Amino acid sequence: MKTIDVHSGYTAEDLEKDLKETLEKAKAESSQTHLIFLDEINTSPEIGAFKEVVCDHSLKGKAFPDNVIVIAALNPYRTRPKVEDSLLMKKAKKGAFESANSMIWIRK
Say whether pLDDT at 98 is over 60.
no
Residue 33, Ramachandran bin (φ over 0: left; ψ between -120 and 50: alpha; else beta): beta
pLDDT at 103 exceeding the cut of 60: no
pLDDT above 70: residue 56 = yes
Band of residue 39 on the pLDDT scale cut at 50, 70, 90: very high
- pLDDT (mean) for 18-29: 97
Cα diameter, the chain: 74
Indicate the burial class of 21 (C-beta count within 10 angstroms; 0-12, 13-18, 19 or more): exposed
Average the pLDDT over each of 19-23, 37-41, 65-69, 81-85 and give the range with the smallest value: 81-85
Q: What is the pTM of this model?
A: 0.68
- pLDDT given for residue 87 in this prediction: 63
